Each structure stands twice: as structure tokens, then as C-alpha cells.
Amino acid sequence: MGEEKKAGISRRLLLTGAGAGGAGLAVGALAAAAFGGQLPEKQATDTIEFYGEHQAGITTEAQDRMHIVGFDVTTQDRGKLVALLRDWTAAIEQMAAGQPVGGADTGSYDAPPADTGEAEGLGAAHLTVTVGFGRSLFLDEHGKPRFGLQGKLPEALIELPHFSGDMVEEQRSGGDIVVQACANDPQVAVHAIRNLSRLGFGTVRVRFSQIGFGRTAKTTQAQQTPRNLFGFKDGTANILAEDADALAKHVWVGKDSTDQPWMAGGTYMVARRIRMQIETWDRSALREQENVVGRIKSTGAPLSGGEEFSEPDFAMAGSAGPIIPVDSHVAVLHPSAHNGVQMLRRGFNYTDGSDGLGRLDAGLFFIAFVIDARTHFVPLQKAMSANDAMNEYLRHTSSGLYAIPPGIQPGQYLGQQLFES
Ligand SMILES: C=CC1=C(C)c2cc3[nH]c(cc4nc(cc5[nH]c(cc1n2)c(C)c5CCC(=O)O)C(CCC(=O)O)=C4C)c(C)c3C=C
Ligand SMILES: [Fe+2]
């Protein structure tokens, strides 16, 4: 999954000019005449393949917009939950192809329409929807199995520990199911989550939801490195989609690297809402900002020199100690400090208005995909919370870890490997 798709019929992109302005109208009129008044449908070209070995939205070239939601399952009926996963799969397939939920069938005039309608005419905008399962889907708060999933909980799906300085809000964290919608149009991403929530009425309840407005990672060679709200390039040293070896080593769960065969081809998503104290940051000197990150603000190059993609030289001396400070973010998190461990970062900038004290509630919704959070996230986050100079400017307000099952083939539903193995 995750590859640009050539085909896919979009009812929204009828040649009547949807998204094409006046020129589209003229072409549409001609086309309608040529088809004896019947308008042909146009193939959406801004689609990402939904089916495949892995779910889309992981190595897919990072889109600019995100809407992520954590759901709690309110039913105790396994059949109802599986039926919802089937409904979601059908809806996601349609939306990813640029079609409305329900396809051409708008349903009865006396019932609510199958699709809420606000993405009509917007195309697919490279929509991907990625679904994962939290530990609480498997075990209730007393440690009792849920939905007959005893024996299916992967060892790696741990309860993330409390890290020093965490100010995690439970109602923004965890959840039985996570759904990440990414697109290059905010309305397409929000439409996807809204329609899935709607289908889930009576089976799931929204626990938290977060909108991200700008990517903070580069995930393909072709992409420019974006900037986070500290104004620094983010994603320079990320794992890229083209790096199959790194993905196999650090991201995709293999059948030999899990106690749960249903997770082979899947991965784990770490999600942390990290508020950035941007007013304090904005009052700090450029020298301080660069020492905190360990990189040059304008170019993204390491403080030891070179250009953006040059390897940092942590041994190079500065006027007082190493030129890349030992407590800089890059020094604390570089693979050389963590047995070569890397992660696929795919986070987004967010703003949620202001906090009533005249400060923006803004930051980074950190998302990373890893083969095992016990080796690929917890030690790094521990080091960060203990030693990273950036902490002074950060507050972690949510935390989540989710098992992301592998991708599916036509005829299957998302999570089928879990429920039918
Ligand atoms: C524990 C994992 C990480 C958290 C949490 C995290 C938060 C966070 N990061 C930035 C800004 C930057 N991060 C950069 C690099 C970087 N960050 C992590 C991990 C976490 N970041 C890693 C593993 C790396 C790569 C280290 C390396 O290999 O050199 C950078 C530098 C540019 C880049 O390589 O991407 C920036 C800038 C913020 C603002 C933030 C929380 C709000
Ligand atoms: Fe970082």
C-alpha cells in the first residue's frame, strides 16, 4: 500500500467542472454532448493505493494534513465490532479512491445520505487511512480479555511508561482503536474521520481527536524537508520509503520478530501530543536555539559543519566542549547513542487555539512507526526526558501506542488477520 494509484473512478470529479473552474464547465458541456447527455466519469489521479502488504499512511509520502482519532469500543459484541471493521474497510476504500461513502448509491430520500457530502468535488487528495489497535482492545482495566482476543495481545503492545516531566492527559491518550487520516486537503482528512465516526455510532465513541496542519517529516527522497513550529527543518535524518533495509530492520514486524503471527507485515505507532512553549522559544537567542537542536536553523546542517544531510561529528571540539552540545536533541537521539536504533517519524504541527493566558496551544503531534517500542521508542524517550535541552520548551500532553496490523487484499477487512487467525 502507499503507492500512487493510476485508476479509481471519482463520482466527485465528473467533467461538469468539479475542481476545474470555467474551463472544466466548457469541457463538461462538450463531453456531455458527446455522450448523448450522459456525463462520463473522470478517473481520480490523486489517489494512494489502499490495498497491499502494508497499510497506507506509513511509508506513503507524508501528506500535509492529518486528522487522527482514538476510539473506545462501547459494544461488547465481537460480531458488531467486526461488522464495523468491514464497514470501515469499504468506506475507506471508497474515500481513498475519491468516491463518496456508499459509492453512487445515495440511499433513500427519507434517510440521511450515505456520505456527509463535504468532500464532494475535492478529489481524493492522496487520502490514506491507517487503522490500529490499542492494548485496551485486548484487555480491560482488570486485565480480563475482551472480544475473545485472549492469546492475541502482542508482547510488544506494552503500556507506555510515565516519562519524567510527562503531563499526560488520559482523555487525550490511549484508546481501543486509532484511525489516522492523512491527505493534502484538510477537508478530505476531516471528512474521512467524520464519516468513519458516523458509521461507528453505537459501536465506538470518540475518545480524542487531533488535527495536524503541516507535516513535520520527510518520508521520501523526493520530498523537501519541512519545518516544525520551532522553525527548524524536521525529518532530515528520517527513515525514507526507499530504504527497504532500514524499514525491514526498524519498522516492519517480521514473522520472526513477533510472538503474534497476525502482526507480520504490521508495525507499531507511537503517538505523543507535545506542546511547545513557543513564546519562551521565540524569546531565546538563535545560538541557544541551535545548541538545543544541534543543527543550524537556516540550513539544517549539523553544528559540526557540512550541509543538511552531512553526518554530525559529535567528537568535534567547540569553544567549551563538543561543538554539538551533548544535551542537544540530535546528540541525545542519534542512532549512535542507541545501538543504531532508528524510527520512521511522521508527525504534524498542530495549533488548538490559545490557553486563556495569552499563549498559543501549539506544538507537534509526534507520530513514529517502529518495529518494537520497547527497543525503538522507550529508551529514546527516556534519554530525551532525562538529558535533552529541548525539554525546557516541551510538555508531553498525550501518549499512545497502537499495533498497526498489516495491509489487506480486496475482499478482506482491516484487522482480519487479528480476528480470524
Ligand atoms: C523519542 C523520540 C522523539 C521525540 C519525542 C521527538 C520530539 C521532537 N523533535 C523535534 C525536532 C527535531 N527532531 C529532530 C531529530 C530527531 N528526533 C528524534 C526523535 C524524537 N523527537 C530522532 C530519532 C531524531 C533524529 C536524530 C538523528 O538521527 O540525528 C530534529 C533534527 C532534524 C531531523 O533529523 O529530523 C529536529 C529539528 C521536536 C520539535 C520535538 C517535539 C516537539
Ligand atoms: Fe525530534
**Cell numbers placing 215:** 507535516
Q: Which tens digit of pLDDT belongs to each residue from 25-48?
A: 333 333 334 334 444 455 678 999
Pick from 210, 184, 180: nearest CA to 274: 210
**Can you give the pLDDT at residue 49?**
98
Name the closest-CA residue to atom 31, ligand 1: 234
**Can you give the pLDDT at residue 42?**
55
Q: Which residues of 74-97 are buried (b: 16+ CB within 10 A; e: fewer)?
A: eeeeeeebbebbebbbebbbbbbb
Mutate to test the pocket of ligand 1, among 218, 329, 377 (most ligand atoms within 8 A of CB): 329
**Can you give the pLDDT at residue 292?**
98
Query: Ligand 1 in contact with 230 (CB < 6 A)?
Result: yes
**Can you give the pLDDT at residue 22?**
31
Q: Which tens digit of pLDDT belongs to each residue from 43-63?
A: 678 999 999 999 999 999 999
Cβ proximity of 350 and 365 under 8 Å: yes
Name, in order, each residue with C-beta under 8 angstroms of 49's C-beta and a sequence gap of 6 or more: 1, 2, 3, 4, 5, 56
Query: Ligand 1 in contact with 215 (CB < 6 A)?
Result: no
Cβ proximity of 346 and 385 under 8 Å: no
Name the closest-CA residue to atom 13, ligand 1: 234
**Can you give the pLDDT at residue 8?**
37
Cα(385) to ligand 2 centroid in Å equals: 12
Cα(335) to ligand 1 centroid in Å equals: 11
Q: Given the C-alpha cell 521520501, which residue does it identify? A: 220
Cα(329) to ligand 2 centroid in Å equals: 7
**Can you give the pLDDT at residue 4?**
52
Mutate to test the pocket of ligand 1, among 275, 333, 385, 396 (most ligand atoms within 8 A of CB): 333
Name the closest-CA residue to atom 40, ligand 1: 364
Q: Which range of residues forms the domain containing residue 294?
A: 4-419
- State how far the Cα of 15 lies from the Cα of 31, in Å rounded to an integer: 7
Ramachandran category for residue 101: left, alpha or beta (phi over 0 → left; psi -120 to 50 → alpha) = beta
Residue spans of beta strands (DSSP E) within 37-144:
42-43, 47-48, 65-73, 128-134
Query: Ligand 1 in contact with 335 (CB < 6 A)?
Result: yes
**Can you give the pLDDT at residue 45?**
84
pTM of this structure? 0.92
**Can you give the pLDDT at residue 23?**
32
Ramachandran category for residue 147: left, alpha or beta (phi over 0 → left; psi -120 to 50 → alpha) = left
- State how far the Cα of 258 lies from the Cα of 261, in Å rounded to an integer: 7
Complex confidence, ipTM: 0.99
Query: Ligand 1 in contact with 194 (CB < 6 A)?
Result: no
Name the closest-CA residue to atom 1, ligand 1: 381
Nearest ligand, CA of residue 217? 1
Q: Given the C-alpha cell 517519524, which residue does it identify? A: 345
DSSP secondary structure of 107-137: --TTS--SS--TTTTS--TT-EEEEEEEGGG
Cβ proximity of 335 and 328 under 8 Å: no
Low-confidence ranges of the chain (pLDDT < 70): 1-43
Mutate to test the pocket of ligand 1, among 330, 342, 390, 397 (most ligand atoms within 8 A of CB): 330
Query: Ligand 1 in contact with 295 (CB < 6 A)?
Result: yes
Atom of ligand 1 nearest to the CA of 234: 35
Nearest ligand, CA of residue 335? 1
- Angstrom CA distances, 3 to 54, 61, 91, 254, stand at 11, 9, 19, 21
Q: Angle at the Cα of 314 (from 323 to 345), degrees rounded to 5?
A: 110
**Residue 314 burial (CB < 10 Å; 0-12/13-18/19+)?**
buried
CA atoms 244, 68, 128, 363: torsion sign:
negative
Atom of ligand 1 nearest to the CA of 312: 29
- State how far the Cα of 261 lies from the Cα of 166, in Å rounded to an integer: 33
Report the domain count for the chain.
Answer: 1
